[in-house]
């Protein structure tokens, strides 16, 4: 108990001493992805709501360490993208992104009311693609091995928690020294092609049925579900997705940051452009 009390006291003192350098951030916007069921790099089509929160630590007036978590949802549907209608695949996946990185303001917000900013870092993310079967029941896709994962040479089931490389930027507007509004877009480069459970080629349907079951076969190709189609299962090793291009996901939206411990003077940190109330007076 004494060690716990001492540790708590040290943490409290550290937080209090550095509170003026800490900003709490809140974010709201959209999430989307680029992959085999959504070929455009950036689009509002098939996008979904996203929200997040985090911390900024002010290393200098223009450089920050950032840590945040963002929640969203990714979706894709061949019927909407329109490129591979006969394939007739679709998916939906929650996405949880935990991000650490650095953020840099091009202008000093203690002197200005507005600045562009950029950021980069590393993220860990979790996803879990699912679809609705022909009866409308939700089915998670990764356990099925729809491309022959588990028996096809060189194909193993993909991990649902992975790393990505985040980068992006936007604009900040200083309402005061303690409150700032931001417009942001952040891209995530992944090292997987399975955000949508689609990557390479069609497995042998006989082996897929024998090894991974009827549901894996049913959801590997769904062109036969289209009314009046009668499209047969594609030839073995014909293209199901583009394995040469990894998937991306991204967030875009607006946010607000609040200084943890309000400051009422510029503290000698370059506030020549501020009024006595701490508000910016020039761009």
Q: What is the pLDDT of residues 207-226, one digit of tens each?
A: 999 999 999 999 999 998 88
d(CA 61, CA 232): 62
In the CATH scheme, what architecture does the domain 22-259 have? Beta Barrel (2.40)
Both tokens assigned to 81 = 């993208």
CB neighbours (10 Å) of residue 264? Answer: 11
Q: Give the CA distances from residue 268 to residues 17, 139, 273, in Å, rounded to whole numbers and listed in that order.
A: 17, 59, 12
Q: What is the pLDDT of residues 74-86, one digit of tens each?
A: 999 999 988 888 8
Domain ranges within the chain, ordered by starting residue: 22-259
Q: Give all strands (DSSP E) within 134-247, no chain letters.
A: 138-140, 161-174, 179-190
DSSP state of 220: H
Q: What is the pLDDT of residues 88-133, one digit of tens each?
A: 999 999 999 999 999 999 999 999 999 999 999 999 999 999 999 9
d(CA 116, CA 83): 36
pTM for this one?
0.85
d(CA 133, CA 137): 5
């Amino acid at each position: 108990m004494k060690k716990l009390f001492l540790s708590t006291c040290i943490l409290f003192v550290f937080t209090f001493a550095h509170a003026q350098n800490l900003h709490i951030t809140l974010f709201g916007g959209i999430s989307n992805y680029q992959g085999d069921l959504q070929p455009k790099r950036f689009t509002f089509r098939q996008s979904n709501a996203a929200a997040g929160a985090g911390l900024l630590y002010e290393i200098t007036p223009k450089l920050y360490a950032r840590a945040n978590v963002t929640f969203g949802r990714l979706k894709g549907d061949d019927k909407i993208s329109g490129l591979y209608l006969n394939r007739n695949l679709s998916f939906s996946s929650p996405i949880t992104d935990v991000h650490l990185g650095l953020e840099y303001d091009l202008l000093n917000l203690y002197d200005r009311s507005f600045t562009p900013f950029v950021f980069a870092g590393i993220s860990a993310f979790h996803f879990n693609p699912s679809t609705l079967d022909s009866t409308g029941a939700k089915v998670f896709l990764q356990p099925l091995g729809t491309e022959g994962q588990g028996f096809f040479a060189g194909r193993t089931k993909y991990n649902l928690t992975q790393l990505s490389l985040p980068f992006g930027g936007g604009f900040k507007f200083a309402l005061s020294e303690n409150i700032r509004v931001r417009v942001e877009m952040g891209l995530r480069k992944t090292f997987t092609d399975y955000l949508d459970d689609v990557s390479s080629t069609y497995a042998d349907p006989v082996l897929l049925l024998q090894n991974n079951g009827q549901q894996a076969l049913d959801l590997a190709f769904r062109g036969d579900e289209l009314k009046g189609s009668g499209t047969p299962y594609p030839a073995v090793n014909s293209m199901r997705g583009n394995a040469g291009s990894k998937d991306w996901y991204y967030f875009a939206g607006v946010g607000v940051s609040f200084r943890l411990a309000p400051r009422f003077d510029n503290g000698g940190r370059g506030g020549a452009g501020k009024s006595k109330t701490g508000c910016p007076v020039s761009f």
